[in-house]
Chains A and B, each alone.
Chain A
Amino acid sequence: MSLRQGSMRYPYFPGCTLKAKARGFETSAVASAGALGVHLDEMENWQCCGATFPLQADNSFPLVSPARTLASARKMGERLVTLCSACYNVLKRTNHVLRTDVGRRDKVNAFIEEDYAGDLEVMHFLEVLRDDVGFDALARSVKTSLGGLAVAPYYGCLLLRPNDELGFDDPEAPHILEDFLSALGCQVVDHPYKIECCGSYVALEPGDLASGPSRMVVESARSRGAQAIVTSCPLCQYNLDVAQQGAHGREQAGVPVIYFTQLLAIALGLPEDVLGFEGHVISPGPLLRCVGVVGSDAIA
């Protein structure tokens, strides 16, 4: 058994979204981690990572903010845990540049007055669950049976690409979310759009343009019997959720889109006040009450 109760502490980078619109992602993750003996120790000096990795070879300035965070995390330890897929992507890619590109490293270090060499391991919380807690140990910690709830994993892009820098999972056929869902006792719904893009920041374009790709993703999961979709990206959550706005009243009920940590907290039998479903367009409340995994009406 790889679960060492109370022995695991990790410096943790929350990111701005988890302190604002996606609070339920953080509260459910921190509480679940605690129940599994993992202490997520929020780092003191962090700032927004910038949310998108800059794709410009001639401009190192957007690396400054994530580099400051990385340099400061390195003073706390050798690893840094993230929850938001975007934070994971931006911090890990920035770290890769600082580790492998001496020219850009020197430039950024000179600007932030640090001497950071890129020698930090940026991790996603799913990797902590898989590698340090272990999915077998996780399965033994489940207190509330999810009763075969049919759940579709949704990776999107930021956890998987570019694979040569992130190395998170098989980039075309990932399975970490599937293994996680199986450990919780869910029925895993495989679907062809699980690694496709939801439309991302194109959500800001006028005319609801990101809803097309998002609806494809939801439909791909729904038509295969998914009762819920799990993600680790606040933007995926938003896009897939709002793409279903107006879906009520038609013959198809909406599919709730929830953070994997919210399902984890339910399975671990944690109090409902850590779930934080406020703000979800398609409320998971009715579904979860219907399958008997949450009791109160407090969940909207």
Chain B
Amino acid sequence: MRLARDVVRGEEERKLRDISGEEVRSCYQCGKCSAGCAMTSMMDLLPHQVIRLVQLGQVEEALASRTIWLCASCLACSARCPRGVSLPNVMESLRVTMLRPGGRHIDPARLPADVLENAPEQALVAGLRKYS
């Protein structure tokens, strides 16, 4: 694959960096984050692959991934990253790129009745802040 410099170091990556406060180029793709992530069995891309896409300016592909919505912000990966990359911040920057223009990943009005009935307030508040 050939990538032009202005794609790799493009506007999209800069915008994500402003939101996340993270320098994804520090990541050397060791995969330790993915190895310890509790959510990987459901993800289409592994966490370190999302970072790689952002490093290469392939932001559209990262934004289309299920992974950004399955990251639970548990911080297991950032606690163990040898390069000090806060991957959950990068995931959040991708989510809010989708949400800030008014997008919604989950519509509160369409949550199933049993979830609304039984889930703790903490789940609803946290979830709707991450997903809408």
Chain A residues whose CB sits within 8 angstroms of the CB of B91 once the complex forms: 55
Q: How large is the interface on A (under 10, 10 to 19, 20 to 34, 35 or more residues)?
A: 35 or more
A292 contacts B by Cβ under 8 Å:
no
Task: Tell whether A51 pairs with B69 under 8 Å between CB atoms, given A162-B79, A199-B38, A209-B42.
Answer: no
- Residue numbers in B under 8 Å from A113 (CB-CB): none
Interface residue B111 (Cβ < 8 Å from any Cβ of A)? yes
Within 8 A of A (CB), among B104-132: 106, 111-112, 115, 118-131
Q: Which residue of B42, B119, B125 contacts A203 across the interface (Cβ within 8 Å)?
A: B119
B34 within 8 Å of A (CB atoms): no
Q: Which of the segments B1-9, B49-57, B70-78 contacts the partner chain?
A: B70-78
Give the chain B neighbours of A54 by CB distance below 8 A.
92, 129
Among B118, B120, B122, B127, the most chain A Cβ lie within 10 Å of the Cβ of B122
**Contact residues on B (Cβ < 8 Å of other chain), bracket:** 35 or more
Inter-chain CA distance A156–B130, complex, in Å, is: 19
Asked whether B119 lies within 8 Å of A204 as measured between CB atoms, the reply is: yes
* Contact between B88 and A84, CB atoms less than 8 A apart: no
Main secondary structure of the interface of A (DSSP, over half): loop
Contact (Cβ within 8 A) B121 A21:
yes
> Residue A62 at the B interface, CB < 8 A?
yes
Q: Mark B1-32, 1 if CB is under 8 A from A, else 0.
A: 00000000000000000111110000000000
Q: A203-B119, A234-B120 are in contact. Are A55 and B88 (CB under 8 A)?
A: yes
Q: Which of A20, A209, A279 contacts B70 (CB 8 A)?
A: A209
Residue pair B131, A204 in contact (C-beta under 8 Å): yes
Tell whether, in the assembled complex, residue A50 and residue B131 are in contact, meaning their CB atoms are under 8 Å apart.
Answer: no
Q: Which A residue sits closest to B70, measured CB to CB?
A: A202
Q: Which of A50, A58, A162, A233 contacts B19 (CB 8 A)?
A: A58
Mask for B76-102, Cβ within 8 A of A = 1, else 0?
101100000010110111001000000
B75 touches A161 (CB 8 A): yes
Contacting residue for A55 out of B76, B86, B118, CB 8 A: B86
- Give the distance in Å from the alpha carbon of A242 to the alpha carbon of B118 in the complex: 10
Q: Do the beta carbons of A57 and B18 come within 8 Å of each other? A: yes
What CA separation (Å) do A84 and B122 show in the bound complex?
9
Provide the residues of chain A in CB contact with B88, threshold 8 Å.
55
Q: Contact check: which of A15, A203, A279 meets B115 at CB < 8 Å?
A: A203
Q: Which residue of B lies closest to A279 (CB)?
A: B118
> Does B39 make an interface contact (CB < 8 A)?
yes
For window 143-196 of A, CB contacts with B under 8 Å fall at 156-157, 161-163, 171, 195-196
Interface membership of A200, Cβ < 8 A: yes
A205 to B122 CA separation, bound complex (whole angstroms): 15
Distance between A17 CB and nearest chain B CB, rounded to angstroms = 4
Also in contact, A200 and B120, with CB within 8 A (given A51-B125, A209-B42, A213-B39):
no
A 99-111 to B, binary, CB cutoff 8 A, 1 in contact else 0 = 0000000000000
Is B20 a contact partner of A55 (Cβ separation < 8 A)? yes
Task: Known contacts A52-B125, A56-B19, A57-B18; decide if A204 and B72 are in contact (CB<8 Å).
Answer: no
Do A17 and B129 touch across chains, with their CB atoms under 8 A apart? no
The distance in angstroms between the C-alpha atoms of A233 and B121, with both chains bound, is: 12
- Bound CA span A199–B129, Å: 16
Q: Does A43 contact B (CB under 8 A)?
A: no
Q: Which residues of A contact B123 (CB under 8 A)?
A: 51, 200-201, 203-204, 234-235, 238
CB-based contact B92/A56 at 8 Å: yes
30 interchain pairs, CB-CB under 8 A: A16-B125, A17-B121, A17-B122, A20-B120, A21-B120, A50-B125, A50-B129, A51-B126, A51-B129, A52-B73, A52-B125, A55-B91, A56-B20, A56-B21, A57-B20, A62-B129, A84-B122, A157-B72, A161-B74, A161-B79, A162-B75, A196-B74, A199-B39, A200-B74, A201-B127, A213-B38, A235-B122, A235-B123, A237-B120, A238-B120
